[in-house]
Every structure is written in structure tokens, then in C-alpha cells.
Structure 1
């Protein structure tokens, strides 16, 4: 039984694994010699305001103000070096003279007079003036942060202060790069070298940089260095960016409403005076019609005001004849009260401005293709970065007694043997390098398909060819599949209609063609599946009609493509493609000795750039125990960007409405496992950070227990909770063959792991392209009592039961399925409508839309495959 929330603690490591063959590895963790554990940092809260009392929020300005403050008041600050995070925290080694200090800081920035502002005469050279701004900075003592807890953590001890100490060291790394003018994104930095740019189209550029952070590991303090990528706006002429961003050919096609939304608050440099400015909008009229009052002096030094257009001003003031932009709006770089207009052709976007909106599918594909690096190439780049950053010359790191070695950590990993698989015609197949061919395999439990149809939303495909290949490939895999009862092309009059109308009309045609309800529909989409038609189609099939469907798109359709299509179809309709030999023989340690429910939990937050998109939480649970290959899913929406699940258990005293996702999993397990309740529950949770581990135990596991209690009397199940982290920066390289990725089944539970928690890295898949990324598994609690080798073998095996691919995957199948379920059902909702509702009205928060429940005909299926 899980402990009460007040008693929850994360279990510690008890042993290391022994199974598998040894392999020599390198990791991108660089050993750190740490000799001054008695150093104490003093943290001060920074309050920074303009002279008009508005709080300063711009990090670039904040850093300039603090730097100026230290230059001006260094003696008052006891000549101490400082660390500043760019926001509200400043750190010094040792205390300042007082617990609260106030400073007036004058910041000078060179600016220039421009069109729309009051100017001297046009016969004089343009003047650059020193614009001064007064800031009030208050430093207030907050707390002490000693570095000693790092030493405690390295020895395996527990100290709540270790994260604060590591945070200070990481701020030192950030500040070092900020002073070099790098773009900072958390612990990653980007120096803007054009050699690191990759054009993704649409005015977006992928910028390659580096990630660096200090970590406490079993082997000691280490510096993790990795390659990182962020998206930036393509620097250069503003008009070139707009043409690329809107996918047009010339300026006269620009949608200026979209352009205003896109350009607002971006920074430009003007060609005529090399000054930086922030865009606030556009002029109301084109340059040759936008007029303003210009204050000039005549030959007699008399001052008078004339009304002039922007085009005339630049001709008289700078002798510039606008070549093409006179008929287009100007950029406004002033303020709402005092606009300053600059013609578009004189404006360039400055480099290293982040692009935070969602990428298109084409841009994402280009990013994946362009950012791949082979292991040897990546390891060389990382090693060069550590050598060239000159960390030993940083006075603050030296004050902490930190010296960073230049070579990667060497360690010994283990390669676990691949599990034996059982197919319909092979009861002892051992995968080679985590993969297997489908050409000679018969599915273990193939389904029979009688009534089915093919519908086509694309004009670029031969339906007869597709249906024939599906039938032939299915029969070679052991499936009995009849000829389709209907091949339906979309009627041309509906092609330009909205997606919902197109789907409805397609079903109207289906009903006319078919007498009986189809078991299955093959749907051909005109492009990649996540287009406008995908969501309405899936919603119609799964929620309204209760019919299983498989989408495919136009493109290259060869034998391997149809084989993978058949894998998905068979599982969706209730078949099984293969199982583990241990699963078939009921020999998985502990799992097959008592009824065991395996859960996969994941939360999908939508694409980047959609901050108001509701998050979608999904749970998949195993069914038909002792099987560990069959699952069903339950999905709910929750508040945007909320990671912890709040609908696992929803008590309903009246027995009406929603009881939560876990109750569905428990009842399905009970009904599919011959009336047995689970006595053990293994929970695989994806996507949470280390700071949220205790919350997972206190909030999510507590809900799971409550849902179990709601089922009735009986002893509570034993629980094992395992967190799977993909978003980390640890990489593994083969020491003896650096040009190759680590082999599938590679596991590491020494040297680079967390010194206190029960955790390990595993690379279960075969990385063919790029550099493999291992998954970092953390075992939070283990009441079931797995041995280290047994648990690692179970995790490894669960990467082989993923039924939609003929290879092991990087993460356990229950988590992969939960992710697919969340993403697929998220397409049911028009999130753009939600976002606009959420932002309408001050202080009004739109309710999170509920996902419609699946039809009873398909709710227990593996629709997410």
C-alpha cells in the first residue's frame, strides 16, 4: 500500500544491474573537480523600476542596468563580483554591506532623430543624441545558498539545498554567455554564427547552439554539454521576411493585418543610421501619403513647422529616393503618442530573435532532417565547445573551486539481450539490432475483415491499386480480408468546402453505397494526416459512428509501407501481431505471478506557439492479463500547460457522470481478465521534471488509489511508479567505435546517474539516423519489489511490444500509446476557437472544452495504433 501523502519519499538506489554484456562508453558529462564546498552565496531580490515607476521586464535592459550599477557603485557593493539571472535574483560570494540597498542608475543609449520626430534643419548633418534613462534598483537580502550540499549529494546524502546550489552554478554559466551577446534559452545559448543557421522556410531559421548545466552524479559533480537548437526569425530585410512568412512573391501581396501581428515588438536596425528600434506597428497610410509635422530652421535660424510626407522627408533629410516602398506602409518605431515612421526598405530584422509560434509540418520535417548529427560529429562538436569556452578563466567558477576536465566521462554500460518474440509462424524469433523484417512473418492473431470500404479525399491516387495492395499484403500476413464493398471518390463540388462538411458528405455517400455497417474504413487524405480533415474524420468514426478507420496519405506506397499499414489495421480491429515469448509462457518475473495492471500516463500540451491550447491527458491500461501487449485508452482535457493530471479519479457520490480515467482502466482490466482485480499496478509516467516527482506521488498516485477503493472492498494493490524522461541532455557514445550509435538494449546505472534516486538510462532502440537519445528512467517507489535486473529487463521488453512498428522503440509502449491517444483525440476539438474565447473579456477564463466520449463499439480498442 502506498504511504500517505505526508510520508511520501522517493526510494533510493539499492544495487546496480549485472545482466547483459559490458560495453565501453563515453558520455557528454565532463568531470568537475570541486574543492571549495565551504563557499556561501548570498541571494538578493532585485527590484528594478523606470523613473515612471513601471517595472522593468526586458532582460536585455535589466542586464545593462545591473552592469551599469556595478560600474557606478562598485565600492558601495564591497567590490564583490556578482551573478545576475536577468530577472529578480542577484548572487554574491559573501554578504553585501547592508541587507537592503537602493541605487539610482542612469543608462545612456545612443539614439537618432527620425521621421515623425522633432528635428533640426535638413541642411545640417543628422545628430546622434545621448538618451538618458533613470532607473531605481533595490537589492533586498533573501537567503544564503551554501555550496556544501553539493558535496552531501555527491556522497549519496539527502539535502534539500542541493538544487539551489546547482542553480547558482548554472546561473554563472548563463551569465558568462550573456556577456558574450548570446541568445539565452534557459540553459542553452546561441551565438548567432551564420554557419549554425538552417533555413526552414516561412521566414524561420533553425539556429544551432549549445546547452550546458552542472549535475550531481554518482561519479561526482559534472558539466553536461550538449548540442541545442532553437528557432529564430530569419535576419535581413523586413520585406524579405514578410514575403517568406506569408509564402507570397512580391510586396503588393502582403496581408498587412497579419504582418502587423507578426512584427509587433520585434527589433530592427535601420540602414540609414545603423540604430536599433522596436516595432510597435504600421503607419495608417503609405510613405508617399503619410504626413507629419516637421520642425525645421531656415537660413536665418528661425524655427518653423512644415507638413511633409515620409517619402519627402527622407529625400530632403537623407537624400534617399525610396525605390519601391513609397507606396507601402511605414514601420512605426516610436510610441502611440509620438509615432516615428521608417520606410520598409530601410529596415532589417536584427539576428537572434526567437520565433515562438508553431512550426508547419513542412518546417518540422525540414528541422528534423537538417538537425541530425552522426554520433562522432556530435561528440567532436561537444568536446570542442568545452575546450573553447575557457571555463577555467571565469573568476566566479574559480571562487567556487571548480575546474572542468576537457575529456568526456568514460564508463562501462551493459547491453541487455533482446527478448524472444513469437509470431504466427515463428515461436522463437530473436530480433537483430532491435529490428525484424516483416516480409517473412505471419501475424500471431490476425483478424478477418468482411465489410469494409475505401474513401478518397485526394485526386492523386488509384483506388483500385491501393485496395488490391492492401488485400494482397494482408493475406500474406495471414489476415483474411474480402474485397472492399465500396471505393468512393470525393465529389468535386465539395472539395472547396470546410472539413466538417466534406466528412459529412463522404459519409452520406458511404451510406448510399453500403447495405451493412462496415467493420473498417480506409481513408486516403490529400496530405499528411494531421491536416484539417483528420480531426473531423476521426471524430466522426470513433465518436459518432463507432467504426474503426485507418488514414493514409498520398506518396510513396511500397511493400514496407503496406506492411506497416496492416500492422495498425490488425491491432485496431482486435488482433495481435506478436507477443514476447516470456509473455506467452507467463514467465515475466512478478508480473505473471499476480494480476498486474500496467498503466502509461502522458499529457500533451499542443504545439509550440499555442499557449492557450487545452492540455490533453491520456492513460492507457493493459487488459486481458497476463498479456502485456493489449491496451485500451482514456483521454480527458485539462487546463492549458498543466502537467499534473486532475481527472484520474473524479468521485461521483450519485453514480452519475464521470468517475475518472483510472476507473475505466480498472473495470476493463476486471472484465477482460476473468473477473480479477489487479493486485499490482505498474505506473509509467512521462513528461514530469524532477521537481514534480513528489507531486506525482502525492496527487496522481493518490487518485489512482482512490479510484481502486471506489471499486469496492479488498486489499490495496502494491504500486511501482517509474518516471520516463526524454527531454534531457545526456548522450551516450561508443568508446571503441565512435562512428556508430550505442546498440539497442544499452543500459547505464553507474557513474552519470543521480547519486540518490533509483534511476538508469536506457537506449532500447536502434538509432539509424542521427545520434540516439537514451530515456532516463526514475523509479520513485517499488512496493512490488523488483530486482534491479528484472525491472530493467521489463522496461526493455516493453519497448518490443509496440504493435505498430517492426522495431523496438525508444520508450516503453504504454507511454508511446498514451501519447498517440492524447494527440489523436486532441484533433477532435477546434483549439483555435478555444484560444479566441479564452482571450476575450478581461479576467474571463473560458472553460476547458470536454472531449466527446468514444462510441461503445470502439472504446475498448487500440484505436490509437
Structure 2
């Protein structure tokens, strides 16, 4: 607890909640051994005994859902459409304070009805899936998915696949051996390669910590990396102990899905859809997303921006770029450089510039649309300027000597992907809307060109939804936006210690935060020296509120300066090749490694 003397000098005395309750109120806690709960903030904590608190029901849980309850959460949230429609039509509407018998006083022409609005909708045609063999693949049009039975991937490498299996603690040896056999069979059946070659025996890990994993991988790769495997597979113990005991399960769908990932790691293409080549041959399709540190992250942890761009007319290969930026900043900083790298790869492939760019932007709200237009869209023009400068003839020192190139004209179409909305659609039949259902009238915005989608987007995007490289189904929105989100998740994995700190990391962080906080309080006490003590019964003045905000900002920036060197070092290690000359590493970076 803290006290303030007449000279505004703060004095802090550390005590426990139990001792404070006894000293101030003469009260003995029933459970003094339990940890106190902070109901304040990290910078201004307020500690309460848990027996004095009650958890209110129906609150939004903003933290990461624990694994122990995740499956229950998903099962509860996936209600059948009949049940959801009933709750909306019978329970939800009745909660609105609307009297259908009375006309609104300010606008009597409006009629209010307590019923679900009926609107027109259209169904887009299903795309034709393309594989290596057979050439096309039918799928369930009611569920928009298919399987890999009897198909070979669209594009693969004929060379043998060298791979290595790492086995997590708790996985049985015979399960690991069954996995090796099934994996070799799966990559051969789907023509990922001519032959699957597991290098030696599998490696049984002694722990799940990063240091153990780092040592094992370093020893496996060796000094020169000549005998390094093409793919490393980590076999984890499932929450269901028997999930890997069935060889049949492994040899069927599981191994087929893993084969898809293995093909991506070798720069292969799993499948495509008919007609998408006409769009992609002249267009660069770009997806972008930004992930921010959550409530449990260390204060000062940066946000991660990810941009992906198409490199193949089949829409089966994308290049990814990531960067760190200021915490909680949604607009992508220096987007031009990320797009430039992708443009350069596109130009190297086609020997020309794209005439069209389709930009899928995920994660922005309607209030940020203008900011995207004014901040991010001009960056594409700057990226073309960078490409033109890069293509100029240069002397031995790298200085441009040739004629200055004029950046080409291009058409840019921006589509903002919005998933978190409360609009729900129900067909007249008691079932789910059919895949391909699109609504672009009545309930859409009068200001923007928008549409609602049931699993798939407008004509061009509808096809792209079925090119998602890691699944045999049509995903809920365009694949490029999905890929950008997946790349963001890969970035979060690199910085997991800061995004989701362990107990030891949290203690290390809190110790430094307390030190910075103490310095700020000392500086504030010096500034307040000689000022009269403020009456607690009076409201804070504007100057006092400004001082509090200045102190909070100082703490934030102080922690950001403390964390950033380690974060930058970790990030650089994840983005750069240690040897600096390993072509295998550079080739790997050009694959969809994050998928």
C-alpha cells in the first residue's frame, strides 16, 4: 500500500491482501493462502481477495481459450441452422423494445414488423477442380468439400523426398513407425515425389522446450546442410491417446492432408480450379493482414504485418513477406517494400508487369476504409516505382546508369474481408444456405459496393475460395486473405515468448516494469514537490489527468525500448539465414512454408 506525506512524497510499503484486511478492518480472510486477483491494470493494480469476488455470467472472454475447454466451446457454438433461426425469430426479436402496432412518431411512414426479413439471393456456379490425375475432381455441392481418393496433385517434383520424423514425448515407438510407413505411402500415392525416404531412425525428443528442439534440429542439419532433409515432421501426442493407434486412420485422410503440406514445402501445387488462369495471367493477387498483441502479451510487443502475393496462374503458389510495426497499428507501414519484393518475383516469372492487382485486405473495420484508401493504396504505385528503379541498368557499383524507366499503369481493385458481423442468413428450407449463396441487395450498404457471402465470394473470388492449398473444401473467404492470416500466425509463433509469455518470462518482464514504474513515480514526485496535497474527494483536474496519461505513455515506451532489442534479434534470426549463403534456405523461403 502507499502513503503520501504533506510534501507530496510518495512512500510505498509492501504487504499482503490478508495482512491489509486485518490491519485496516480487523478482518481475517477465510482463505488467506489463495493468490489475490488484480482487478486493475498492469500499471495500476488493485488487488482483491478472491473470496470477495463473483464472476458475472455471459461475459466476453477476451483471452486465448484454454485447450481444456476449446472443444466444448466449439461444439456449443456450432448449432444447427434450425435452432439458430428459431432463437433469432422467436427469442431475439422479442427482446427488441419495438411495438409493431405503433408508428414511429418522427417517421410515420415506417412500418415495423417483428419477423425475419426475406431477401433475394443468388447462387454462383461451382468451380471445376483441377488435379494432375484425373484432370478434374467432383465434389459434394451441398457441403463444398471433396477428398483426395485416387488423385495426384496438380504440380509436384519427381525427385525423391528426404524427410525426418521428430517424435514428441508420450508417443509410442510403434505409432511413430506406423506414421513413417503411412507417410511414405501417402506422398508416393499423391505423387508428391517419386519416393519417400525417411532418413535413418526417428528422433525421440526428451522435452517440448525450445532449447531441446533447437539442439536436435541443429544436429540433424549438420554444419554444411548437405544431408539435411527436405521436410521435418513433428509428431505430437494427441489429447486422444488412441488417435494415432489406428493405422487405417493414418493411411486415409490424415496422411493425405499431411501429403498436401509436404508438397507445399517442396514448392508444389496441390490443385487448382478451371478458369482461374484467365484472371491470374495478367493479375497479381495480394492478401494482407495484421495481427496485434492480445491482452496477455507483454506491454510494448509489436504488431506483425503479413502480405502474400500470387506467383502462379493456377493460384496455387504465393510468396509471403512479414514485418514488425508499432503495437496496435492496423495500417501497414512501408507496404511498398513488401509489395515490391512480390512484384519483382512476379516480373522474374512472367518477364512483364501485371496489368491488374486484386488486393484482399483483412482485419480492418468500416471506419478504417478511408484510411486504407489514403494510406495503403498509394503504396502500390510506389512499389511499381521501386520495381522500375530496380530494373534500370546499373554499373559495377550498383548505381543506375540506364534510362529512367516509367512505371507502368495498372488497375487496382481492393476488397476488404469482414468476417465479424452479426448478419445471419437462413434459406426458406430448414437447412444451411447452399455453398455459393451471395446476397448483394436490400441489406447491403448504401455507400459501399459490398456483398454478403455464404462460404464463398463474388464470381472471381468464388473460384479463389476453392484454391486454398491446405484443405479439400471451399473456404469462407478468398484464399489470399487466409494465407496472410496464416503468415501472421507464423510470425506470432516466432515471438511466442512475448505474445504468450510463460511464468518465468512474465516474472522477468514484471521485474523490469516495476523498476521503470518506480523511476516514473520518483520523477513525478519531484515535479509535485511543494504542491499542496490533493483532496481525494475532489475530481481530478485536467492537468492531473494529463500527468497520469504522460506517466502511462512513459511506461509503455520504456517497456517498448526494453523489449525491442531482444524482439528484433529474435525476428532477424527467423528471417535471415545463419550461413548467409545456403541456397536451400533461399529456395525454402520462396515456398509457402508457413502453410
Higher helix share: 2
Q: 2: CA distance between counterparts of 1:507 and 1:725?
A: 42
2:581 maps to: none
Q: Do the aligned partners of 1:450 and 1:519 also contact (CA within 8 Å) in 2? A: yes
Quote how far apart the aligned CAs of 1:513 are.
Answer: 14
Q: 2: CA distance between counterparts of 1:343 and 1:715?
A: 66
Q: Do the aligned partners of 2:100 and 2:111 also contact (CA within 8 Å) in 1? A: no
Q: 1: CA distance between counterparts of 2:164 and 2:425?
A: 47
- Structure 1 segments unaligned to the other structure (5+ residues): 1-259, 261-279, 295-308, 312-321, 334-340, 529-552, 650-659, 766-774, 776-791
Quote how far apart the aligned CAs of 1:345 are.
Answer: 5.9
Q: 2:262 aligns with which of 569, 576, 591?
A: 569
Higher strand share: 1
Q: 1: CA distance between counterparts of 2:105 and 2:177?
A: 74
2:121 maps to: 413
2:386 aligned with 1:710, yes or no?
Answer: yes
Q: What whole-Å deviation, never above 9, does each CA across 1:794-819 have from its counterpart, x for those lacking one?
A: 11000011111011101101110111
Q: Do the aligned partners of 1:454 and 1:486 also contact (CA within 8 Å) in 2? A: no
2:315 aligned with 1:628, yes or no?
Answer: yes
Q: 2: CA distance between counterparts of 1:344 and 1:862?
A: 48
Q: What whole-Å deviation, never above 9, does each CA across 1:259-283 have from its counterpart, x for those lacking one?
A: x9xxxxxxxxxxxxxxxxxxx9722
Q: TM-score, normalization: structure 1?
A: 0.51
3-state SS of paired residue (1:706): helix
The alignment's C-alpha RMSD in Å is 3.6
Q: Do the aligned partners of 2:125 and 2:436 also contact (CA within 8 Å) in 1? A: yes
2:535 maps to: none
Quote how far apart the aligned CAs of 1:607 are.
Answer: 4.4
Q: Do the aligned partners of 1:418 and 1:430 also contact (CA within 8 Å) in 2? A: no
Q: 2: CA distance between counterparts of 1:370 and 1:481?
A: 44
Quote how far apart the aligned CAs of 1:500 are.
Answer: 2.5
2:375 aligned with 1:664, yes or no?
Answer: no
2:417 maps to: 724
Q: Do the aligned partners of 2:169 and 2:205 also contact (CA within 8 Å) in 1? A: no
Q: Do the aligned partners of 2:100 and 2:114 also contact (CA within 8 Å) in 1? A: no
1:463 maps to: 176
Give the alignment of 1:781-860 within 5 angstroms.
792-829=458-495, 830-831=497-498, 832=501, 840-841=516-517, 842=520, 843-844=554-555, 845=557, 846-847=560-561, 848=564, 849-850=567-568, 851-852=571-572, 853-854=575-576, 855-860=585-590
Q: Do the aligned partners of 1:611 and 1:641 also contact (CA within 8 Å) in 2? A: no
Q: TM-score, normalization: structure 2?
A: 0.72
2:48 aligned with 1:375, yes or no?
Answer: no
2:438 aligned with 1:747, yes or no?
Answer: yes
CA gap 1:671/1:357 in 2 versus in 1, 3 angstroms: same
Give the alignment of 1:79-228 within 5 angstroms.
none
CA gap 1:743/1:460 in 2 versus in 1, 3 angstroms: same
Q: What is the aligned residue count? A: 480
1:43 maps to: none
Q: 1:477 aligns with which of 187, 190, 193?
A: 190
3-state SS of paired residue (1:685): strand
- Structure 2 segments unaligned to the other structure (5+ residues): 1-13, 40-46, 389-405, 521-553, 577-584
CA gap 1:398/1:385 in 2 versus in 1, 3 angstroms: farther
Q: 1: CA distance between counterparts of 2:424 and 2:454?
A: 10
Q: What whole-Å deviation, never above 9, does each CA across 1:366-395 have from its counterpart, x for those lacking one?
A: 321222211111111111234422523599
2:361 maps to: 685
CA gap 1:465/1:708 in 2 versus in 1, 3 angstroms: same
3-state SS of paired residue (1:597): strand
Q: 2:150 aligns with which of 440, 452, 476?
A: 440
Q: 2: CA distance between counterparts of 1:864 and 1:411?
A: 40
Q: What whole-Å deviation, never above 9, does each CA across 1:565-595 have from its counterpart, x for those lacking one?
A: 1111102211111122224xx444xx54xx3
3-state SS of paired residue (2:255): helix
Quote how far apart the aligned CAs of 1:353 are.
Answer: 5.8
3-state SS of paired residue (1:621): strand
Q: What whole-Å deviation, never above 9, does each CA across 1:469-501 have from its counterpart, x for those lacking one?
A: 001122221232233113333354xx27x4224
Q: 1: CA distance between counterparts of 2:38 and 2:434?
A: 57
Q: 2: CA distance between counterparts of 1:481 and 1:636?
A: 37
